[in-house]
Amino acid sequence: MFPRSEYPSRLSLTLAIEALSRVESDKISVSLALAKTVRLLGAEDYGAISSANRLVRETLRRQNLIDKIIHTVLDSKLAEGLGLGARSFIRLYTYHARLSGRGKTNPSALVKFGRAILGWEEMAPIEEALGKILSLNMKTLFAGISDNE
């Protein structure tokens, strides 16, 4: 998805968080959510917009697996009580850190961007889970699950 040295920029992560939140809250398509977000934020950097688009689409494509990972490391009451921004960020982080094949090399950059975008108060409930996501053994995640699930 991203070249080895490229990580989502702060703008692309901001666009992705907002667009993913809009997809969930307004039940609209990724294209429409991203277009509204770009218009709202006045973004003009095509690279950041394109990066956000890929990030949101890939995250939604793997949302069931991402949510299973999140619910494994995060208390279910806490997971359900997260705001849209924090929920979108942890989904994007999980995709990038565990499923994109590139995130384990520098996930702290995403966390710093997340704090800058959402604020420390919104990030505080999920901070511990972010480390657990990186250390989660994926084989144990699927232990005991049949092929039908």
**pLDDT tens profile 57-96:** 999 999 999 999 998 898 877 877 889 999 999 999 999 9
The C-alpha angle 107, 111, 117, rounded to 5 degrees, equals 140
- Cα separation, 110 vs 146, in Å, equals 34
Task: Tell me which H or E stretch contains 131.
Answer: helix 127-135
- Cα separation, 140 vs 123, in Å, equals 27
- Cα separation, 107 vs 22, in Å, equals 24
**pLDDT of 43 strictly over 90:** yes
**Residue range 96-146, pLDDT digits in tens:** 988 887 655 577 888 999 999 999 999 998 998 998 998 888 877 777 665
Q: What is the reported pLDDT for 107?
A: 79
What is the maximal distance between C-alpha atoms in the chain? 48
**pLDDT of 24 strictly over 80:** yes
* C-beta of residue 141 within 8 angstroms of C-beta of residue 105: no
